[in-house]
Amino acid sequence: MVSVNSERAWSCPGGPLNHPSSSGAHIVVVDDPQLLALIPIAKETAPDRPVIFRNHIQIRGDLACTPGTPQARSWVWLWHRAPHADVIVSHPIPDSVPPTVAKKR
């Protein structure tokens, strides 16, 4: 479903996920978890294009690393889809960032 919607709305002629030389965006910012599947599509089209994921969902890092918690399930879902982002922006609260995220990201 994501690839169909991407081709229709994001990767169509003149769409933002095209290569920058073909009128695509020079930088892609994904600020909603529902759109995380667009990150690998953006990187496939232009591997050198910066992709930023803004995680506005506050997750307690300690609970994200505790198996069986809702936070752990949510984090696994998010992190499975976000690793291709070049930069991850999160709440400026250290406890909101699980230790699986490298500080440099």
Instruction: Indicate the number of domains in the chain.
Output: 1
Among 17-21, 52-56, 84-88, 98-102, the least confident range: 98-102
User: Given the structure tokens 């070049």, which residue do they identify?
Assistant: 86
What does the alpha-carbon distance between residue 60 and residue 40 come to, in Å, rounded to a whole number? 26
Q: For the segment 24-75, what is each residue's pLDDT rounded down to a tens digit?
A: 999 999 998 888 999 999 999 999 999 999 988 777 888 888 999 999 998 8
Q: Is residue 75 part of a domain?
A: yes
Q: Residue 64 sits in which domain range?
A: 26-96
Among 7-21, 25-39, 50-64, 86-100, the least confident range: 86-100
Q: Is residue 65 part of a domain?
A: yes
Q: Is residue 32 part of a domain?
A: yes
Q: Is residue 104 part of a domain?
A: no
Q: Is residue 57 part of a domain?
A: yes
Q: Is residue 101 part of a domain?
A: no
Q: Is residue 46 part of a domain?
A: yes
* Contacts made by residues 19-27, CB under 8 angstroms, sequence distance 24+: 19/45, 19/46, 19/49, 20/46, 20/49, 24/49, 25/49, 27/51, 27/52
Answering whether pTM is above 0.85, one says no
